[in-house]
Amino acid sequence: MNTPKLFPGKAAVKVFYVEQAELYSDLVDIVKQKFPMIQNEHISKKSSAQNKYTVITFELYVEEQQSLEALYEVLSRHPNITMVL
């Protein structure tokens, strides 16, 4: 049985947080440090259904799994982030 190759490939990372001044730009900076080639049109921001959280989606092109795991680790440790998917 052949296992599909996941990397390199596209991945969407969703970051959930309670809205705070300047947090959006801080999170974009974190992602751009790990994935400097990401373009602004691949970053979107919206509110959750009940406006409880803000969600940023980063559409990334990932060369290797370790890069994606490193990003998840940094984002997950951020004190103001509720969840990373």
Contact between 36 and 63 (Cβ < 8 Å): no
Query: Quick check: is 2 in a domain?
Result: no
Give how many domains the chain has, as a whole number.
1
pLDDT of the residue at 4: 62
Domain of 52, in residue numbers: 9-84
Q: What is the CATH number of the domain that holds 35?
A: 3.30.70.260
From CA 82, how far away is CA 54, in angstroms rounded? 10
Domain presence at residue 4: no
Per the model's pLDDT, the better-predicted residue between 47 and 71 turns out to be 71
3 is a domain residue: no
Structure confidence by residue, pLDDT tens digits, 10-29: 999 999 999 887 899 999 99
pLDDT at 2: 59
